[in-house]
Structure 1
Amino acid sequence: MNALVKTICTFVTSSIGRKIIVALTGLCLVLFLAGHLAGNLLIFGGPEWINTYAHGLHSMPEAALWGIRLGLAVIFIIHIWLTIQLKLENNAAREPYVFKNTIKATLSSRYMIYTGLTILVFLIYHLYQYTLRVGYDPAQYVAYISDGNVETFDVYRMIVNGFSNVWCSAFYILAILMLFSHLRHGVQSIFQTVGLDSRKIRPVYNFIAIAYGVVICAGFISVPVSVLLGIIK
């Protein structure tokens, strides 16, 4: 038992161990984004679709719902904490007189830590607005689903009202563009960390990273843009 604990401690404190944990937590968040986007896009089906989806989520057992939320929070915190640790250690290991070659580095990789922190700030605001629903009186946001038999919170109208504010939509779009930059390098890093870094396969996973980022981010941005254009109203 002591040997197992020692092995685990050695792994999680080593540089390669932490990089693997960052990759795995990043993969969890990447997959979560796909599921979250699928739910968001239901708004294009009208109030019934998105409100039924939201009602289903909030009808889950309290323990299960909060278990998922806390699990995501733990994954997110571990991902951020270890990423910052590795970044600081990498900077400290550099000798000041060594030429810093950033020619081959992409903007995404060079500003990874900054796009990540921008996304963190956005996430706090996003949770404040749409998860905690601060400023949205439930009595004024009532909707009916299942042929009018079930009363629920009107998520559709909450989203439309929120994104009708140009500044709110602008901040959301900016954050999603930062997310694209983060995903582009992050997905590439996941492949590299698990050992898929040969010259033959590198163009393939680079394409996958960019394509995934474009699809995810275009999907998220389509919602506020559609609200501002009056497509969703």
Structure 2
Amino acid sequence: MNKDIQKPSPMDAALKFVNQYFPDCQAALLAGSVVRAEATETSDLDIVIFDNSIQTSYRESFIEFGWPIEAFIHNLKSYKYIFDLDYKNARPSMQRMILEGIVLKDTNVLANLKLEAKKILEQGPEEWTEETITIKRYFLTDTLEDFIGNRDRAEGICIAGTLANLLHEFVLRTNRKWIGSSKWMMRALKQFDAHFASSFAEAFDTYYKDDNKTKVIDLTDSVLAAHGGRFFAGFTHGRNNNN
């Protein structure tokens, strides 16, 4: 491959991709980091396709037109299953792609899809029940205690990753906000509370750099304090009350 040949723009590459692979689709969108002006040198193109000739939703990866491409293919009914799944997991990636996506092709179906996605994103995830909060509080406490007591650096790194994920989930879901995974954990926290997100990043950065657990422990305790503090003794789940 000649490196001097300039690859096409994201929009041009996406249009070529749709015309080559899904010429008869009802709609197509270019989504992801390139449309949010957050692309890096390793970013791919996220392309959402609506094609009623396919039976079920699927995902496929390509390298075409100088770009790595992730295609998310649906028909005009199968996407609803993905919407429901993302809603239940409180990670609305499909809804975000549709709402933010730049139109590549449309046969008068995208306006309603974008409206549907917008309504879901604005209403937020399901509110956690008190029972769910209690269960999550227990597991967050249990992981925090593991983190505090651990003396093996390699294990501590792994525990810290689990703790960060549980903590971000607890903060966001108890405030009825969407959660994320990987880089979207920080993005979701920043959207909710930039100050807390900064404290979160600083606490775990300090641990990873200096092996100092104090800030992580204090931050986790401050979050738990709003719901009664650490919780371990007396926790029960799945017990038959008739016994």
**TM-score, length basis structure 2:** 0.25
More strand by share: 2
More helix by share: 1
Higher relative contact order, structure no. (Cα contacts within 8 Å, ≥ 6 residues apart): 1
**TM-score, length basis structure 1:** 0.25
